[in-house]
Amino acid sequence: MLHLVTGTVIRIEEKRAGMQLLEVELADGALGPQKALSFSREEYRIGDTLLLNTTALRLQLGTGGYHLVVGKADEHTGRDVMPSKWGHIMKMRYSPWQLAVDAVEEQASPFHDLFRQPDLSLDGAPVLIGELHSLLPPAILALKENDPRLRLVYVMPDAASLPIALSRHVQELTRTGSLSATITTGHAWGGDREAVTIHSGLLAARHVERADVIVCMLGPGVAGTGTSYGFSGVQLAEVIHAVTALGGTPFFVPRISFADQRSRHYGISHHTTAILGRFALCPVLVAMPRLGDERDAIIEEQLVSITESRAGHTLVFGQAPSVSRLDALEKGYGLPFTTMGRSWREDPVPFQTAVLAADLLWKSLSYPGTAQMSSGESRLSASSNTLAALALYLTTNGERP
């Protein structure tokens, strides 16, 4: 199904970098004003006729209640609504909205020679990996709270939303300087840098944007089918493999909730157990919160599929950060912390887990091997043994100050 209809602009509601929110009147008889998103750099005026993709709302999918603007329907002259400098790499290839981007690794890029190095590595850089985009703000803010000098770069894969401009969190974290740069990979687009693959996106974060810490979480709008195979987060197994192959240190934020009443998402989500228990072939360091009540026993029971994985993951347990800390982080941020339609007050555990993972990653930066990695004398390989040694350091190095 691909449903297109024309509509008339009746109000320009919001403009922000890479995105505009419009109010439109549809021509097919739909009652009342409708909201539409545009990711092009077209200028709109009240009365303009637009061609709109209304498919998702007709299927009543969770798109936030927006139609998507294809372009102006009443303008027939040629125009470039997404100009680039050197790019000839196409994203969303062979779709009606394919566009050429300035890929960081392509031949005309000033960074092309960097990516021709066959042994380019992440040099042990830590990479925080997670499924839910809603956990990006608490993780980023916790890292900056621990050390405001950290240069944090967000790498967005393409398993969820493709235009990064859809994320209000990315916009706000960039505006406040919490995020130093963004990189969109695969068919995702609109970041400060564009990359053809997750591998080159991670390397660009480290060597082009000089990241101290790389954060790789899916964009907003993940998909699921109620199976262990058909959900957006499966792509994170590929991210884990890429981080390991490139010599990085992978930290994983498990998806945990005790407010989601669906059995497959109660406690540790089946998404997390599928990724770590079956699909990830390389080990990661997994942050696991201690909640201090009967929920700990539920988590312990669910961990079996992860601990028995052939990948040899390393679990690091830590006291769940306090709800007062979540409250303080949210107040300092200015936007609400919500996930799956619930606030952190209704469902604190996902946010506590993200903050714990950020705290553990921050502590790892003082690991004795870090100086050697940065000098190039040696690299921390993300093997089960080295991650276990790192975990021992993290759990014997005291609590967060």
Mean pLDDT of 327-344: 93
Amino acid of residue 320: A
| Residue 143, CA distances (Å) to 76, 178, 206 in order | 49, 9, 17
What are 52-70's pLDDT values in tens digits? 888 887 777 655 678 999 8
The pLDDT of residue 260 is 86
DSSP at 279:
I
Which of these, 178, 165, 131, 156, lies nearest to 340 by C-alpha position? 131
What are 215-234's pLDDT values in tens digits? 999 999 898 999 999 999 99
Residue 285 has pLDDT above 50, yes or no: yes
Determine the Cα–Cα distance for residues 50 and 132; give it in Å rounded to an integer.
32
Determine the Cα–Cα distance for residues 120 and 264; give it in Å rounded to an integer.
40
Q: How many residues in total does the chain contain? A: 401
Question: Cα 63 to the chain's mean position, in Å?
Answer: 17
The pLDDT of residue 377 is 38
What are 113-163's pLDDT values in tens digits? 999 999 999 999 999 999 999 999 999 999 999 999 999 999 999 999 999
Determine the Cα–Cα distance for residues 202 and 180; give it in Å rounded to an integer.
14
Which of these, 218, 151, 208, 152, lies nearest to 184 by C-alpha position? 218
What global pTM score does this model have? 0.90
Q: How many CA atoms lie within 13 A of 305 on its CB side?
A: 15
For the chain, percent of residues with pLDDT exceeding 70: 93
Residue 21 has pLDDT above 70, yes or no: yes
Residue 400 has pLDDT above 60, yes or no: no
353 vs 58, higher pLDDT: 353
The Cβ of residue 31 has, within 10 Å, a number of other Cβ atoms equal to 7
The pLDDT of residue 110 is 97
What strands, in cross-sheet order, belong to the sheet with 193-195? 193-195, 181-185, 152-156, 213-217, 126-130, 249-253, 285-290, 314-319
Residue 29 has pLDDT above 80, yes or no: no
DSSP H/E element including 143: helix 136-146
Please name the residue ranges forming H helices in 75-184. Answer: 112-115, 136-146, 168-175
Residue 380 has pLDDT above 70, yes or no: no
